[in-house]
Amino acid sequence: MTNDRVPPGSVAEKPERPDRVRRSMFVIGCIGIGAATAGFLAATVRFLVPNVLYEPSRRFGIGPPTVFPPGAVTFLPDRRLYVFNGADGFYSISSVCTHLGCNVKRGGPGFECPCHGSQFDENGQVVQGPATKALAWYALSLSPHAQLVVDLDQPVNPEFRLRA
């Protein structure tokens, strides 16, 4: 440190030895502020994650099994879901294209997507890209009131069947 007003050779001119206590307090302070900043950032990100979703429930009833005629496919547009009543039981396949989220339609080998031309077979397996993942299958169950219930948070394999 130099200061014009301090005459040369005075105390201030001597090279100061670092004060251990001050230095460690400074380091502790820096760590504290750093940790607080990190915590603040984490809190901000957490703040952005909604705790309550004002969107349709991910688990919902779709009516009694009897409304789905045997051997037929029913499209539930509001749920973006195809429900099959096959020979060996019920199963449901999502109509959300795994490429970029358009609704696939029945057609071609099984399903076709209008957006970028992906094609899927009857089980939702990719026949032609650009999609690389098969269409999602969701678990079906029977509620105590004999309603079919779909759970979008419970994906299942294409072997899944619900006997009802």
Partner 1 sequence: MSQTLWNRTLTWSGAVRRSVSRVGWPATDKDRAAAMISSLFLHIHPARVSRHVLKPAYTCALGLIAGVLFVVLSVTGLALMLYYVPYPPEAYRSMKDLQFVVTFGIVLRNMHRWSAHAMVMVVFLHMCRVFWTGSYKPPREFNWVVGVLLLLLTLGLSFTGYLLPWDQLAFWAITVGTNIAAYAPVVGDQVKFLLLGGHVIGPMTLLRFYVLHCVMLPLAMLLLISLHVWRVRKDGLSGAEVHAPAAEEVAGVFPPSTKTYGLMALSKRPRTSVEARDPNDDVFAWPQLLYRELLVALAVSVALHVVSLVFMAPLEEMADPTRTPNPAKAPWYFLGLQELVHYSALVGGVIVPTLLVLALLVVPYFDRGKAGAGQWFAPERRVANAVFTTLAVIFAGLTIIGTLFRGPNWAWVWPWK
Shortest spacing between CB 43 and partner 1, in angstroms: 14
Shortest spacing between CB 105 and partner 1, in angstroms: 8
CA distance 115 to 53: 28
Both structure tokens of 10: 């005075």
Site string for partner 1, 107-136 (x = CB under 8 A): -----xxxxxx-----------xx-x----
Residues 35 to 94 in contact with partner 1, rule: CB under 8 A:
45, 48-50, 53-56, 58, 77-78, 80
CA distance 96 to 113: 9
CA distance 154 to 26: 52
Cis check: omega of the bond before 69, within 30 degrees of 0: no
Task: Tell me which residues touch partner 1 (CB under 8 A).
Answer: 45, 48-50, 53-56, 58, 77-78, 80, 99-103, 112-117, 129-130, 132
